[in-house]
Structure 1
Amino acid sequence: MTLTLTGRYYRMYPSFDNPLGHAEEELELDPARTGFLIVDAYGRGFDDEEEHPGLAGIYAPDPVVKEIVREHIVPAREAARQAGLPVVYLTNHLSPGLTERTEWRNLSMRTCDVDVLDAWREPNDILAFSKVIAPGDGEPLIRKQMYSGFYETTLDSTLRARDIRDLVVVGFDSRICLGNTVTEAMYRGYRVVVLRDCVRTFEYPETREGELANLLAIRYIESNVGYTATSAQFAAACARLAGG
């Protein structure tokens, strides 16, 4: 049995001025070697009954992100579970190696007004999981400090221990943590399929109309990393596999 999924990619030839553009390919994924990777879907506020008084600034609840998590990521995760695909989580944490001199910490302070040495000390509402998206029993939770989930973590060994070759990826942020993680996954030989309605990024004032930053993040993935599909396509593929 195979997991048959239509993957979309972007053709930049014959020239940058006149690219052929999008194309689709029927991907045959071995379910025994395909993993479902959830990147940075943490934070209080995805459950209806939750209160999140401590979340503000860049961590303030976003209704669009909540809709993506509840209406797209959670159903895709359930489809993956029903099809028998291993589900792996990536999340941020406060690394013991982080100090006042760490440049990433200083970058966060000057661009996001967040000192992670204070904001990320656990327990906190920023890094906690809402019940609707929390890891299930036996689902690995890999903790990272920097953008890429492969940087100084056990993600690669966790995937290889399960003989995973293909990755279906969802989560946040399409330009930053998810974007860096899937790029490095490609470096390491994994075939990547990002579910494009299961990602989002911060939009600048000049990109909000048309959500151009997220569009370009998806285009980068389709041009330089792997494929994209939709959560509905993935759920249908898993249903065919489970019923097959």
Structure 2
Amino acid sequence: MMLTLPGRYYRLHPSFDNPLGHAEEQLELDPARTGFLIVDAYGRGFDDDDDAGEGRTGIYTPDPVIRRIVREHIVPARDAARRAGLPVVHVTNHLSPGLAESTEWRNLSMRTCDVDVLEAWREPNDVLAYSDVVAPGPGEPLIRKQMYSGFYETTLDSTLRARDVKDLVVVGFDSRICLGNTVTEAMYRGYRVIVLRDCVRTFEYPETRDGELANLLAIRYIESNVGYTATSEEFIASCARLVPGDA
């Protein structure tokens, strides 16, 4: 039995000035070849009565919207994937031995985010620690990355191929940066990508906050240039049809 999922994509033809826009394709995913990838859903503050995020400032300030997305959308979708027998793989940031004071990415972070990762990412810390509710489960691979993409100088590709994964259902953060770069590189490597669009978010600039335009454009980029999107509700329902008594 296949996972059936309505995959939304965006048509740029017949011209950029007059695109046809959104369409849906009924996707059939082989459960034996479909992986569930969670990108950068780390950080304390997602558990019940968890105040570990209190006192953090700047870009690591706890975000109630992300907390809601994790608890109400990502976790139920992950649980559905587990019940359906899909391999669940996690990608997280870490302080790589390859990072030095002269690394341009470190200098960029200091310049634009006022964060020196050589200090902020030194473990243990609440920034990179996992809340219990979304932590990797027994046997679920945790791939540690340094840069935005989960494929850059990591074992993510070989981990997925060892599990014969062809289709990737992806959730996490941030839709423009780490998740966005990861799914783009997944497409480069021949994976069919389906992002659950209510399971992602990006930070908004002052001029994009009305309408959450940065996240809208990130999702539009995925639908136009990478793969498909669906919702967590649609994915959960699809998984439920595979599990007797779970529908």
Match of 1:2 in 2: 2
Note the alpha carbon deviations across 1:78-110, whole angstroms, 9 max, x for none. 000000000000000000000000000000001
| Per-residue deviation, 1:55 | 2.1
Q: Structure 2 length as normaliser, TM-score?
A: 0.98
- What SS is found at the alignment partner of 1:206? helix
Gaps spanning 5+ residues in structure 1: where? none
Match of 1:37 in 2: 37
State the distance in 1 between where 2:69 and 2:228 align: 19
| Per-residue deviation, 1:242 | 1.4
Q: Structure 1 length as normaliser, TM-score?
A: 0.99
Match of 1:220 in 2: 221
Question: In the alignment, does 2:103 pair up with 1:105?
Answer: no
- What SS is found at the alignment partner of 1:42? coil
State the distance in 2 between where 1:128 and 1:177 align: 17
Gaps spanning 5+ residues in structure 2: where? none
Structure 1 stretch 50-59 or stretch 180-189: which is displaced more? 50-59
| Per-residue deviation, 1:226 | 0.1
Question: In the alignment, does 2:47 pair up with 1:47?
Answer: yes
For 1:133-148, what aligned pairs fall within 5 Å after superposition?
133-148=134-149
State the distance in 2 between where 1:25 and 1:60 align: 38
State the distance in 2 between where 1:30 and 1:48 align: 35
Match of 2:67 in 1: 66
Say if 1:95 and 1:54 are closer, same or farther in 2 by CA, change over 3 A: farther
For 1:161-200, what aligned pairs fall within 5 Å after superposition?
161-200=162-201
Match of 2:234 in 1: 233
| Per-residue deviation, 1:243 | 2.6
Match of 1:125 in 2: 126
> What RMSD, in angstroms, separates the aligned Cα atoms of the two structures?
0.8
State the distance in 1 between where 2:223 and 2:8 align: 7
Q: Which amino acid aligns with 1:95?
A: S
Q: Which amino acid aligns with 1:36?
A: F
Q: Which amino acid aligns with 2:109?
A: S
State the distance in 1 between where 2:57 and 2:85 align: 37
- What SS is found at the alignment partner of 1:242? coil
Q: Which amino acid aligns with 1:231?
A: S
State the distance in 1 between where 2:31 and 2:150 align: 22
For 1:144-163, what aligned pairs fall within 5 Å after superposition?
144-163=145-164
| Per-residue deviation, 1:56 | 1.5
Q: Contact 1:10/1:222 (CA < 8 Å) preserved in 2?
A: yes
Q: Contact 1:65/1:200 (CA < 8 Å) preserved in 2?
A: yes
- What SS is found at the alignment partner of 1:243? coil
Q: Contact 1:54/1:125 (CA < 8 Å) preserved in 2?
A: no
Note the alpha carbon deviations across 1:147-195, whole angstroms, 9 max, x for none. 0000000000000000000000000000000000000000000000000
Identical pairs, percent = 84
